[in-house]
Amino acid sequence: MQILVVDDETDVRDLFQQRFRREIRSGQWTFSFAFSGEEALEFLRAHHSEVLIILSDINMPGMSGLDLLGHVKEEFEMPPTTMMMITAYGDDESHQKALALGAHDFLTKPVDFAVLKDKLAHLLPS
């Protein structure tokens, strides 16, 4: 199962790879990484059918996470089943906006990885 993580901080990759090292090693979950909204769209165009979950930061320079959400909805007839937004600002406005754009979940930084793991496990059949 493919999870695409979108964040402009590159160290997010190392963090996820370590946090989910057991799941990755067992082949349970597969993670891909994109460091901007534009990069994420490109990846989706190439690997459209493989990605099931998108985990995206909202605050990125250029195309924001919400923009990405809109583009994905527009561009792909069969969008990934789940889109989760992560933001440093836990304000209601962004939350509502994300949900309105079709996001399935909303997380606030700092990300609690135990919660995230639960959500992913819940979302995806192992």
| Site residues (vs other proteins, CB under 8 A) | 9, 11, 14-15, 18-19, 59, 61-62, 64, 66-67, 87-89, 91, 93-94, 97, 109-111, 113
Provide CB contacts within 8 A for 82, sequence distance 6+. Answer: 52, 53, 54, 104, 105, 123
What CA–CA distance (Å, rounded) separates 79 from 53?
9
- What the block records as the tokens of 89 is 């600002």
Do 80 and 47 touch, CB atoms closer than 8 A?
Answer: no
Shortest CB 113 distance to other proteins, Å = 7
Toward other proteins, which CB reaches closer, 14 or 42? 14
Shortest CB 48 distance to other proteins, Å = 25
Shortest CB 31 distance to other proteins, Å = 15
